[in-house]
Structure 1
Amino acid sequence: MQILNIAAYKFVGLERLEELRAAVRDALHTRAIKGTVLLAGEGINLFLAAPSSAIHDFLAWLRCDARFHDLETKESWSHAQPFRKLLVKVKPEIIRMSHPAIQPATGRAPAVDAKTLKRWLDAGHDDDGRPVVTLDTRNDFEVDVGTFRDAIDWRITKFTEFPKALLEHRKELEGKTVVSFCTGGIRCEKAAIFMREAGVEHVFQLDGGILKYFEESGHAHFDGECFVFDERRALDPALKPRVNVGASSDNPTPEVMGS
Structure 2
Amino acid sequence: MNKPYSILLYYCYTPIADPEAFREEHHLLCLELNLLGRIIISKEGLNGTVSGLKEDCDKYMEIVKADPRFAKVDFKVDESDKHAFAKLHVRTKVEIVHSGLLHIDPNVRTGIHLEPREFKEMKDRDDVVIMDMRSDYEYSVGRFKNAVTLDIENFREFPEKIDALKEELKGKKILTYCTGGIKCEKASAFLLEQGFEDVYQLHGGIIKYGKEAGGEDFEGKCYVFDNRVAVDVNTVNPKVISKCHVCGTVEDRMVNCANPVCNLHVPICEKCGWELEGACSTECKEHPEKRAYDGTGYYQKNLNGYNPLKGFNRRKTSTVSN
TM-score of the aligned structures, taking structure 1 as reference length: 0.88
Task: Give the Cα–Cα distance (whole angstroms) in 2 for the partners of residues 87 and 60 of structure 1.
Answer: 21
1:40 pairs with 2:90? no
Provide, for residues 11-38 of structure 1, a one-character-per-residue CA deviation record: whole Å limited to 9, x for no partner. 1111111110011011100111000110
Opposite residue 193 of structure 1, the aligned amino acid is A
What does 1:84-233 correspond to in 2, within 5 Å?
A: 84-121=86-123, 124-125=124-125, 131-233=127-229
Opposite residue 135 of structure 1, the aligned amino acid is M
2:300 pairs with 235, 245, 250, which one? 250
Partner of 2:308: none
2:10 pairs with 2, 8, 11, which one? 8
Task: Give the Cα–Cα distance (whole angstroms) in 2 for the partners of residues 75 and 238 of structure 1.
Answer: 16
Task: Give the Cα–Cα distance (whole angstroms) in 2 for the partners of residues 230 and 5 of structure 1.
Answer: 9
Question: Structure 2 vs 1, CA of residues 165 and 250 (structure 1 numbering), >3 Å: closer, same or farther?
Answer: same
RMSD of aligned alpha carbons: 2.3
Task: Give the Cα–Cα distance (whole angstroms) in 1 for the partners of residues 98 and 163 of structure 2.
Answer: 18
The alpha-carbon deviation at position 110 of structure 1 amounts to: 1.2
Question: Structure 2 vs 1, CA of residues 238 and 4 (structure 1 numbering), >3 Å: closer, same or farther?
Answer: farther
Task: Give the Cα–Cα distance (whole angstroms) in 1 for the partners of residues 111 and 121 of structure 2.
Answer: 20
The alpha-carbon deviation at position 39 of structure 1 amounts to: 0.5
Task: Give the Cα–Cα distance (whole angstroms) in 2 for the partners of residues 131 and 176 of structure 1.
Answer: 5
Task: Give the Cα–Cα distance (whole angstroms) in 2 for the partners of residues 2 and 252 of structure 1.
Answer: 28
- Which structure carries more relative contact order (alpha carbon 8 Å, separation 6+)? 1
| Secondary structure of 1:184's aligned partner | coil
Question: Which stretches in structure 2 are left out of the alignment for 5+ residues?
Answer: 236-252, 255-294, 304-322
Opposite residue 33 of structure 1, the aligned amino acid is L
Partner of 2:248: none
Partner of 1:257: none
Larger of the two Rg values belongs to structure: 2
> Following superposition, which runs of at least 4 residues in structure 1 exceed 6 angstroms of deviation?
none
Q: Is 1:36–1:252's contact at 8 Å kept on the other side of the alignment? A: no
The alpha-carbon deviation at position 73 of structure 1 amounts to: 0.5
TM-score of the aligned structures, taking structure 2 as reference length: 0.72
Q: Percent of aligned pairs with the same residue?
A: 30
Task: Give the Cα–Cα distance (whole angstroms) in 2 for the partners of residues 140 and 76 of structure 1.
Answer: 24
Provide, for residues 169-223 of structure 1, a one-character-per-residue CA deviation record: whole Å limited to 9, x for no partner. 1221011111010000000111100000001111101111001110111131211
1:236 pairs with 232, 236, 239, which one? 232
Opposite residue 57 of structure 2, the aligned amino acid is I
Task: Give the Cα–Cα distance (whole angstroms) in 1 for the partners of residues 110 and 141 of structure 2.
Answer: 28
1:56 pairs with 52, 58, 67, which one? 58
Opposite residue 183 of structure 2, the aligned amino acid is R
Question: Structure 2 vs 1, CA of residues 79 and 192 (structure 1 numbering), >3 Å: closer, same or farther?
Answer: same
The alpha-carbon deviation at position 80 of structure 1 amounts to: 2.3
Opposite residue 142 of structure 2, the aligned amino acid is G
| Secondary structure of 2:228's aligned partner | coil
Matched pairs, number? 245
